[in-house]
Each structure stands twice: as structure tokens, then as C-alpha cells.
Amino acid sequence: MKSERRSVTGFVELNDIRLAYGPGGDGTLALDGLSMTVKKGEFAAVVGPSGCGKSTLMKLATGLIRPQAGTVEVAHKEVDGPVSMAGMAFQNPSMLPWRTTLKNVMLPLEIVQPHRRRLSRERAAYEALAEDLLTVVGLKGFGDKFPWQLSGGMQQRANLCRALVHDPELLMLDEPFGALDAFTREELWQVMRDLHAEKGFTTILVTHDLREAVFLADRVFVMSARPGRIIVEREVSFPRPRPIDLTYEAKFNDIVHELRAHIADARAAA
């Protein structure tokens, strides 16, 4: 049955996932019967009521945890351990305070091959690469500052750089803009939009902000209350590049309202 479901189009595929926490996996059921497919280069967003297991989904897709039932495939390979190549960013920027911002951004290069091998020989080139990335997110000249000398928004920009510096094929974002003020958040949406357009990595964004999901994503997945599964899959076909003003237009808000209704239903059903 598992093999039947394999498709060649999906870059990330979750098939009929069941996952419970607790000893032996018989504790709280977090996910049950969850299936979703994200195509290569696609920007997917996952929304849902709080506590529905959105963040668990992130760990599943990167192989940090294993499901009790069902299969996870990334790049047409079954995931049986950490995927070794995904960029990740969380709401908490988790910068290392003893490293400068540039050194923080370059941390993945010290882990992921082939960069790890090359880093000491080609340090200057890699530093230039990281500096470029910092410039793109608006942190030009802040590379030698320590993270605690940066504001929350700036740390989050650096966090995005760290998630992308090794040119990952898969980017996982867990509410990365959740703790920021509204203006910074909209600015970072546009940064994210441009980075995705330029580099074309496959992205899964977990968020509770429906406007964020609709603005950034090609496809929005709505999860049910716990135990979580996908109840609605909504294509968002606004042409790219999307201007930020789009978020104030009626057709945009129609989709937001539609998603909001689905989540309200999911909460009521719980």
C-alpha cells in the first residue's frame, strides 16, 4: 500500500502518518492519518488551530522524529533519520552569543558536506557568500556584531540567513516571524518572497498567521485539531512576484476568510 502512494512529483511526501508522544508511542496522539505532498520548489504553508501538531510536522519532515505508522519521503527517498540538508528557522532565533553574526550565519557550513570539507581552504569565498546573504536581508555591515547587539527583527533576519547559507533544497520555517512587530513582519515576508524566487528551494512554513500563509505560499494546508491531519488544501494562485499591497485587496482577504472559516470549523469539531 505504501508503494502505491509514491509519486514522482512530490519533493516532500507524508503518507498516512500516525504519531503519538509518550513512552512507546501510546501517549497523546499528535497526528493521525496525515498525508500531504509538497512539490519541488513549491512554497507550502501549514495553518491550523493551536496545539494541532504543526511543529511536530516540521520534525517529521526533517527526520528528527519517526512516525509510528506511515511513511515520510524527501527527494524520493524514505526518511529514516535526520535529512542532513534542511535549513530550519524557528520563532526563537537561537543565535549563539559567543559568535559574531557572520560566524553564526556560517555555522551550517561547518556541519554540512561538501562545505565542511572546503570551509578552511575557501574561507574567504564562503565569508563573502554569507556577507552577500546578510546584505540581501538588510544586515549589511552587521556581520561582526554579536547577536545580542542586534534587535529581535535583525536576529530573525540573521536566523533566515543561517537557514539558507548552505543553499538547502528544503527550508523549514516554524513561525519565524511570530514574535516580530507588524511592520518588520511584512518587511521580512518580502525578503522571504524574494529569496524564494531567487533560489527556488522547497519551503514548508508553519504559521498561525493566515495573511502570512496566503501572501507567501503557493498552497496552504489546513490542519484539524489534535490529533492533526490535513482537512483542506487550498491553492493560492496569485501571480508572482506578489506586491505587499496585495494583502489589502479583496480577493486576498477572501482567501484569508475562507481559511479562517475552515479553522473555526476545525476548532468547533474538537
Does 184 sit near another protein (CB under 8 A)? Answer: no
- How many other CB atoms are found less than 10 A from the CB of residue 189? 19
Site string for another protein, 132-171 (x = CB under 8 A): --------------x-x-------------xx--x-----
For cell 476545525, the residue is 266
Cα gap 156→170, rounded to integer Å: 18
Does 46 sit near another protein (CB under 8 A)? Answer: no
Which residues, other chains included, contact 149 with Cβ-Cβ below 8 Å and sequence gap of 6+?
Answer: none
Instruction: State in angstroms the smallest separation of the CB of 72 from another protein.
Output: 13
DSSP tag of 228:
B
Burial-class residue 117 by CB neighbours within 10 Å (0-12, 13-18, 19+): exposed
Does 96 sit near another protein (CB under 8 A)? Answer: yes
Cα gap 17→15, rounded to integer Å: 6
Closer CB to another protein, 11 or 215, in the complex:
11
Does 66 sit near another protein (CB under 8 A)? Answer: no
* Of the candidates 137, 229, 140, 142, the residue with the CA atom closest to the CA atom of residue 177: 137
Does 179 sit near another protein (CB under 8 A)? Answer: no
Closer CB to another protein, 148 or 248, in the complex:
148
Does 114 sit near another protein (CB under 8 A)? Answer: no
The answer, yes or no, to whether the previous bond of 176 is cis (omega within 30 of 0) is no
Among 6, 111, 117, 128, binds another protein (CB under 8 A): 111
Instruction: State in angstroms the smallest separation of the CB of 110 from another protein.
Output: 7
Footprint on this chain of another protein (rule: CB under 8 A): 59, 62-64, 82-90, 92, 94, 96-98, 107-108, 110-113, 146, 148, 162-163, 166, 172
